[in-house]
Amino acid sequence: MRIGNDDGIEAGLKDSSHRAGAVVRGLLPRTKDERQRTQEEGRRTTGERAAGFTLLELMMVITLIIVLASAVFPTYEVAVRRGREAVLRDDLFTMRKLIDQYTLDKQRPPQSLEELVEAGYMRGGVPVDPITRSSETWQVDIEDVVVSASQAVPGIVDVHSGSDEISLDETPYNAW
């Protein structure tokens, strides 16, 4: 028995057993009314709007986010660099002050930064250089320090960052 070909949905089905199996599996609507309702559910009436966003709307939002991020990112990098420079200035000021204090207290300059730590002048240890991110890269200036009219002792007189990078004010960090 051949089934009619009214709407093209049932084309190719040879007998009712195939149709019954398709209906059970949910592939075909059961009646003409169900076919009509299925077709109408697929269409939107004027004034209705589907939930969600269109691809165009999503692309526009993503593009806007990328443009804003590309404008903000360089500013963020400069702010981080300024912060590291501020920490470096503060660390250098503190270490230089402690070197001078040690020299006045002990009547001789320290021979290393670790000596300042051992004597209790730097309680937290040698600070980390914020530019090189290491506490081992500090460069020290060692000179003879006059402790009395007839005596000079070699020791640390100044400290600098171990970085060769150029700062935002266009001077090398190791020249600070």
In a domain, 23, yes or no: no
If one counts the domains in the chain, the total is 1
> Is 138 part of a structural domain of the chain?
yes
Residue 140 lies in a domain: yes
In angstroms, the CA 16 to CA 4 distance is 11
Residue 53 tokens read as 């966003």
Q: Residues 166, 176: contact at Cβ < 8 Å?
A: no
Question: Is residue 150 in a domain?
Answer: yes
Residue type, 159: V
pTM, 2 dp: 0.61
Q: Domain of 78?
A: 55-175
Please indicate, yes or no, if residue 20 is contained in any of the structural domains. no
pLDDT tens across the length of the chain (176 residues): 555 555 544 444 455 555 555 555 555 556 777 767 666 666 555 556 667 889 999 999 999 999 999 988 888 999 999 999 999 999 999 999 999 999 999 989 999 999 999 999 998 899 999 999 999 999 999 998 887 777 888 999 999 999 999 999 999 999 99
Write down the pLDDT at residue 16.
53
Task: Determine contact, residues 157/139, Cβ cutoff 8 Å.
Answer: no
User: What residues does 156 pair with on adjacent strands?
Assistant: 142
> Please, which residues bridge with residue 140 across strands?
159
pLDDT at 85: 95
In-domain check, residue 3:
no
Three-state SS letters, 21-68: HHHHCCCCCCCHHHHHHHHHHHCCCCCCCCCCCCHHHHHHHHHHHHHH
Can you tell me whether residue 144 is helix, strand or coil? Answer: strand
pLDDT of residue 139: 94
What's residue 172's pLDDT?
94
**Within a domain: residue 63?**
yes
At 97 the three-state DSSP class reads helix
Q: Is residue 81 part of a domain?
A: yes
**Residue 158 β-bridge partners:** 141
The residue count of the chain comes to 176
